[in-house]
Amino acid sequence: MSDLAAIRKFEAAKRRSLVTPEGVDLSLKLADIGQRIAAFVVDGLIMIGCLIALTFLAIAALAAIGIERGELVAVIWLLGYFILRNGYFILMEMGPRAATFGKRGSGLRVVARSGERLTADRVIARNLMREIEFYLPISFLSYNAAEGAGSALMSLAGLAWTGLFLFFPMFNKDKMRVGDLLAGTWVISAPRKKLAVDLLDTEVPAAPQFTFTEAQLDVYGVFELQTLERVLREAQPEAIATVAYTIRNKIGLGNQYGDDHEFLLCYYDAIRARMERGLLFGKRRADKFDKGA
Amino acid sequence: MAGPSDSRRFRAAREGEWRRLEEILTTAEKKSVKALDDEELLALPILYRGALSSLSVARETSLDLELITYLEGLCARAYFFVYGVRTSAGSRLAAFFARDWPLAIQSLWRETLVSLAITLIGALAGYLLVVNDPEWYASFVSPDLAAGRDFSASAEFLRQQLYDSPGADGLSFFATFLFTHNSQIAIMCFALGFAFGVPTLMLLIQNGAMLGAILALYFSRGLGLEMGGWLIIHGSTEMFAIILAGAAGFRIGWSVVFPGEETRLDAATAAGRSSALAMAGVVAMLACAGMLEGIGRQIVISDMARYAIGLIMLALWLAYFYLPRRIDV
């Protein structure tokens, strides 16, 4: 019992309720630390790429118009660098998708914790804090390395500072950076998803070869049903064989053979139809341990 | 046993609407709201509400996990679009300069006074220490920054420094460099406020002490008045901006330590938002200061004109920030 309950609790802990004015809870899913790191790395690479491109352009422009009139080029380069460093995140997150390219790639977006619209002041606050979360430790460490004068103690202090901000998102249940905390924002995972075909619609043979008794259908609950759905969608032959074997044994058809995939589809179809009918009568069985009230 | 279940019929009946909503959202997010035609604009809120109701129904009657996650994603996307920002960048910018920024600065008045006091204390300390013992000078003004302007320099050299420009070309680069450099320091000053304001305090003291030390040097050579002009033309804007950045940092540090009636999180968020607004404007102020310092000071040589420009700028900033204004939203 405790295993499945723990899994459900773990999944629920990643959800945050946001009730729309229409009264529906959107139950947003917070982004994983891994997704956020991936997004940040992509953004970092994009920024470095832009900076390199800008530098090459500047060099090319200098070569074209001559070094003595290079002041304009230098001004543009410096402003470009400044805007890239401070403006990339802010401008991207103020757009309609509220996400940088890296965040889009990971299916993330920034939202206000209160569910209000995401305003510029929040975006600015969360991104200016990157200055002490990321740039300060980086410039500190590189300065130390370049000078060669950084004592062990100073490096250690720098490391502790970096660590404090780096691990900050892991020590609060909302996975907020310091910037998120000050801006009142969350980063949620809202990937754009195409609607996959309904398993029931396409693949079930017109006349099922397998029929099940009510007792055989009442073995499992919603959790198992949705796990079965995932197995069928992923369509890994080994997984399908294992699951089919387990279910056959469980419902007492251990000695019956046939196509595993077809068997699972028929079983999925039958059990889902039965459980959905149960839902209409207000019966929802969470998992196989749930005996119902 | 497997007749077409209700949830399957439900999905078949609504799927077209969901796909339509998805298409409209994709166009709108990729381009802008303007890319939508009238028909799509009118359909959007209806489709959005339809999707929400589908989600409610699906949660209660369907066990298709794929369908429910799809609908949750679609509804969230539509929600953020329907209730998202609809004003254009231009009108937002206008509202920022007309109302939001001065109001944010006004709300920081207490912190601004503290920040000003700290800078003045730093300047006074720097001045007194250096006047009594010139040895202190080097600890406030780093040799790179001083560039020969120290107690071993002749009065003639020091005077020259005040009026010599680095030549007509190089001015705009100099101005840009000053702007980006000072902005980065101001942003740092603000962000460090999170560490309970202590590093912000130290930065302000150091900044003030440097000012005091340089003034002490020039006063000791009888060049105080001239130095004042050199400083004030851009300093009234630049120092003001840095004091405001410090104030924004203090606001954050203060709210984290003493959240008052609110929870610590709420207090930090409120402080973060209002001081971030103030900071966006501080960067604009520093751009102004960079131009005054990089270009204005090199062109305007007369002391009187320098004082006039500096003081007028100060008066303008004060009037802009603190004159009472109507708050109509």
Residues of B in contact with A99 (CB under 8 A): none
Nearest to A200 by CA among B308, B230, B5: B5
Q: Which of A193, A212, A283 to mutate to test the interface with B (most CBs of B within 10 A)?
A: A193
Establish if B329 belongs to a structural domain: no
Q: d(Cα A191, Cα A143) in Å, to the nearest integer? A: 39
pLDDT higher than threshold 60 for residue B26: yes
Q: Per the structure, how many domains does chain A have?
A: 2
Chain-chain contact of A22 with B49 (C-beta, under 8 angstroms): yes
Give yes or no: residues A176 and A276 share one domain: no
Mean pLDDT of A111-136: 87
C-alpha dist (Å) from residue A232 to A204, A265, A268, B51, B142: 12, 8, 9, 26, 69
Give yes or no: residues A90 and A207 share one domain: no
Give yes or no: residues A35 and A108 share one domain: yes
Give yes or no: residues A245 and A150 share one domain: no
Give yes or no: residues B66 and B201 share one domain: no
Mean pLDDT of B266-285: 91
In chain A, residues 86-125 whose CB comes closer than 8 Å to chain B: 86, 94, 96-98, 109, 111, 113, 117-122, 124-125
Q: Which domain range does residue B220 map to? A: 90-322
Give yes or no: residues B229 and B121 share one domain: yes
Establish if B311 belongs to a structural domain: yes
pLDDT higher than threshold 80 for residue A25: yes
Mean pLDDT of B21-39: 84
Chain-chain contact of A117 with B19 (C-beta, under 8 angstroms): no
Give yes or no: residues B114 and B254 share one domain: yes
Give yes or no: residues A23 and A164 share one domain: yes
Establish if A286 belongs to a structural domain: no
Query: Which residue type is seen at B306?
Result: R
User: For B12, phi and psi rounded to 5 degrees?
Assistant: -60, -35
| Dihedral angle sign, alpha carbons of residues B207, B213, B218, B224 | positive
Q: For B190-236, how does the pLDDT look when each residue is reduced to its tens digit (9 = 90+)?
A: 888 888 888 899 989 988 998 999 889 888 888 888 888 888 998 99
Establish if A69 belongs to a structural domain: yes
Nearest to B140 by CA among B44, B74, B212: B212
CA distance B318 to chain A (A): 23
Cβ atoms within 10 Å, residue A57? 14
Q: Which domain range does residue A36 map to? A: 11-189
pLDDT higher than threshold 60 for residue A112: yes
Q: For A185-229, how does the pLDDT look when each residue is reduced to its tens digit (9 = 90+)?
A: 999 988 887 877 766 555 555 556 677 887 888 888 888 888 888
How far is Cα of residue A224 from the mean position of the Cα atoms in its chain? 24
E strands, chain B, are none
pLDDT higher than threshold 50 for residue A2: yes
pLDDT higher than threshold 70 for residue B4: no
pLDDT higher than threshold 90 for residue B115: yes
Establish if B36 belongs to a structural domain: yes
pLDDT higher than threshold 90 for residue B157: no
Establish if A285 belongs to a structural domain: no
Give yes or no: residues B188 and B94 share one domain: yes
Chain-chain contact of B80 with A109 (C-beta, under 8 angstroms): yes
Q: Any chain B CB within 8 A of the CB of A51?
A: no
Give yes or no: residues A171 and A28 share one domain: yes
Q: For A56-65, how does the pLDDT look when each residue is reduced to its tens digit (9 = 90+)?
A: 999 998 888 8
CA distance A81 to chain B (A): 9
Among residues B86, B119, B134, which one ends one of the domains?
A: B86
Predicted pLDDT of residue B328? 57
Q: d(Cα A110, Cα B30) in Å, to the nearest integer? A: 17
- Average pLDDT score, chain B: 86
Give yes or no: residues A39 and A125 share one domain: yes
Q: Indicate the residue of B5, B15, B191 with minimum beta-carbon distance to A273.
A: B5
Predicted pLDDT of residue B2? 42
Nearest to B213 by CA among B119, B136, B154, B267: B136
Give yes or no: residues B230 and B114 share one domain: yes
Give yes or no: residues B77 and B100 share one domain: no
Give yes or no: residues A217 and A126 share one domain: no
Predicted pLDDT of residue B1? 38
Among residues B68, B86, B104, which one ends one of the domains?
A: B86
Chain-chain contact of A181 with B67 (C-beta, under 8 angstroms): no
Give yes or no: residues B176 and B289 share one domain: yes
Beta strands at A185-189 and A108-112: parallel, antiparallel or unpaired? antiparallel
Q: Indicate the residue of A26, A184, A226 with minimum beta-carbon distance to B79.
A: A26
Predicted pLDDT of residue B124? 95
In chain A, residues 19-38 whose CB comes closer than 8 Å to chain B: 20-22, 24, 26-28
Establish if B1 belongs to a structural domain: no
CA distance A185 to chain B (A): 9
Chain-chain contact of A21 with B73 (C-beta, under 8 angstroms): no
Give yes or no: residues A102 and A208 share one domain: no
Q: Per the structure, how many domains does chain B have?
A: 2
pLDDT higher than threshold 70 for residue A292: no
Q: What is the interface pTM, i.e. ipTM, of the complex?
A: 0.85
Give yes or no: residues A173 and A239 share one domain: no
Give yes or no: residues B110 and B216 share one domain: yes
Give yes or no: residues B75 and B178 share one domain: no
Q: d(Cα A184, Cα A181) in Å, to the nearest integer? A: 5
pLDDT higher than threshold 90 for residue B242: yes
